[in-house]
Structure 1
Amino acid sequence: MAPGSKAERKAALDAGAWMFNVVTSVGIIMVNKALMATHGFSFATTLTGLHFATTTLMTLVMKWLGYIQPSYLPLPELVKFVFFANLSIVGMNVSLMWNSVGFYQIAKLCIIPVLCFLEILLDKVRYSRDTKLSIVLVLVGVAVCTVTDVSVNSQGLLAAAIAVWSTALQQHYVHHLQRKYSLGSFNLLGHTAPGQAASLLVLGPFVDFWLTNKRVDTFNYTSIVTFFIVLSCIIAVGTNLSQFICIGRFTAVSFQVLGHMKTILVLTLGFLFFGKEGLNFHVALGMLLAVIGMIWYGNASSKPGGKERQVYSTPSEKTQKHGILSSQSELDQKV
């Protein structure tokens, strides 16, 4: 295959992965909004457990059909991942309950700089000036169009900090495990989904009762509510899989930066379906800044030196190369 056609094929697969994630993520937001806001099903943690139970079922079927080959993930690594992932889910729900919507949005934006810090510290990644500036522009744009009222207290600040760090660690860990153990997205999901499903289905009802003072087992499950729960679970399979695919192909930072495209899309769909209320000058300005920042990030991070992983030579290699530091361009092209 010619180099040009290979690059074009990779670009098409990358675009398909992003589109898959955007469509499923926006779809599940819309379905869950109808389920929770319209029909009163406010048991988010238990619902997430059902999502992972459905995902587990999907991976078992894929294994049975031979599409997922046997792979290995050490139990300590699995336990660590499930801990971070579940703490992220509970932390985000508690942060939303204890904080204003504005501060909750600010906390979500903080995931990007925390991920950058983790990549610099753990992966020895170096960012160019343009890459850094593009990330800042995305953060400013999303903040302008989503952050309104900002109020916080000590317990809300603690919940937000736990949510941000656990989410960043979980997403960084996805990329780390795929690289370290040569795991594909299906393989990693096959290892992690059962543990998350089991733990969330056991703990979820208690966490939801603590958050809402309502019991999931006494809820009035009408046919329409059941339909939305099933639809949410089906879409969640695609959301979970597409997240692993995107982080595996790119990095957690890129997933977060370009992932804010979903925020812009949700705002746009809200304007199209619900009229002009909610859309004003500063929201439109923020959306424009965020989109410009995303395009800038894509261009800056893909250039040589835009985002590099520093590779240090062994002592013998350093002697041969007179102590010169070699660097390997990462270019966000993880497969």
Structure 2
Amino acid sequence: MDSLKKQSSAVSDVGAWAMNVVSSVGLIMANKQLMSPAGYAFVFATTLTGFHFSMTALIGLVSNATGNSTRKKVPLWELLWFSVVANTSITGMNLSLMLNSVGFYQSIGSLQKKYSIGSFELLSQTAPIQALSLLLFGPFVDYYLTGKLLASYKFSSAAFFFILLSCSLAVFCNISQYLCIGRFSATSFQVLGHMKTVCVLILGWLLFDSELTLKNILGMAIAILGMVVYSWAVEADKQTESKVSPLPKEASEENVELLKQQQQSDGSPLKDVELGKSQP
């Protein structure tokens, strides 16, 4: 039974990991095509993030309405504070096209533990706040960063298609990111980020003719080596823990009780076996 549970958990972990890698890398590729001058020059990254969370919020509302997920109460000020941290982190992801924030990770994990709330339930509550704030302030932030107005952008059917594709991939990326945070440690999450960076560099070179310098190649080699060493260290730690089998608490308590009974039958002064002091 335990082995079946472990196998099921391992399959779930691999599924969350795979969905995060595929959706994240796919999202970055779609954003590159959408935002690059050679593509559709949609340079409004903050507003695009608002579109992403609007789609995510819509999926969350539909899920709650159909009863596929439950809504747990989280204080509004906690959601607002988290949204500020999340918006700062995720806006940075779009601007740099690949960034993982430990602070963002820790905020999600803290809220999930504090209110015993699942990853999708938390996402469905924070997404509307994030979407509203990003759509309100995003165009102003984008104008400050790029000097261009969203209203002046000429939408084409191809650009609109890539915006929808980006939003769809963002939903899977957001959900899988919250799932990974509930399953993996912060270090594992960062290692996962390095793997995505390697994929992005390779696909950028294959699909967008991005220059692959010696520095990039060395960086990827170091990242891959780090992932291999980290995987080996985690596996070695698991094997060490499995070999060490501490006595159950019940067994140690039974031994203490037997020792006390033996001392009483011998007529010797009764000692507290834990503190080493004689008892009257």
State the TM-score, normalizing by the size of structure 1.
0.66
Alignment equivalent of 1:238, drawn from 153, 172, 181: 172
Counterparts of 2:155 and 2:207, CA distance in 1: 27
Distance in 2 separating the partners of 1:90 and 1:7: 36
Aligned counterpart for 1:269 among listed residues 203, 207, 213: 203
Given that 1:54 and 1:234 are in contact with CA atoms closer than 8 Å, whether structure 2 keeps it comes out as: yes
**Structure 1 residues 26 and 92: CA distance shift in structure 2, 3 A:** closer
Task: Report which structure shows greater RCO (CA 8 Å, sep ≥6).
Answer: 1
Report the residue type matching 1:12 in the other structure: V
The residue that corresponds to 1:149 in the other structure is none
The AA in structure 1 aligned to 2:84 is F
CA distance in 2, matches of 1:208, 1:172: 27
Structure 2 distance, partners of 1:193, 1:260, is 26
- How do 1:129-208 residues align onto structure 2 when only pairs under 5 Å count? 167-208=101-142
- For 1:77 and 1:287, the matched residues in 2 are separated by 38
Give distance in 1, aligned partners of 2:211 and 2:154.
32
Q: Cα distance 1:268–1:63, how it changes in 2: closer, same or farther (>3 A)?
A: same
Q: Which ranges in structure 2 are unaligned for 5 or more consecutive residues?
A: 242-272, 276-280
Match of 2:232 in 1: 299
SS at match of 1:70: coil
Tell me which residue corresponds to 2:84.
83
CA offsets, 1:260-293, max 9 Å, x none?
A: 1011111222333456x73455533332221121
What SS is found at the alignment partner of 2:42? coil
Structure 1 range deviating more: 45-54 or 177-186: 177-186
- Alignment of 1:49 onto 2:55: no
- 1:59-96 Cα deviation digits (max 9, x unpaired): 011111211112121122111101111222445677x5
Which has the higher Rg, Structure 1 or Structure 2? 2
Secondary structure of the equivalent of 2:161? Answer: helix
Deviations 1:161-193 (A, max 9, x none): xxxxxx432221111111111111110101110
What per-residue deviation string (whole Å, max 9, x for no partner) do you get for residues 115-159 of structure 1? xxxxxxxxxxxxxxxxxxxxxxxxxxxxxxxxxxxxxxxxxxxxx
Contact kept, 8 Å, 2:55 with 2:167, in 1: the verdict is yes
* 1:209-288 aligned within 5 A: 209-273=143-207, 278-279=211-212, 281-288=214-221
AA at the equivalent of 1:14: D
Distance 1:46 1:32 in 2: 13
| TM-score normalised by length of structure 2 | 0.78
Instruction: Check conservation: 1:175, 1:252, Cα contact below 8 A.
Output: no
Contact 1:175 1:251 in 2 (8 A): no
Whether contact under 8 Å (2:49, 2:91) holds in the other structure is no
Q: Which runs of 4+ in 1 moved over 6 A?
A: none
For the residue of structure 2 that corresponds to 1:220, the secondary structure is: coil
Closer, same or farther: CA 301–68 of 1 in aligned 2, 3 Å: same
Aligned residue for 1:14?
A: 13
Structure 1: segments with no counterpart, 5+ residues: 97-103, 112-166, 307-319, 323-335
The answer for the alignment partner of 1:126 in structure 2 is: none
State the distance in 2 between where 1:74 and 1:298 align: 38
Root-mean-square deviation (Å): 2.5
Q: What is the count of residue pairs matched by the alignment?
A: 240
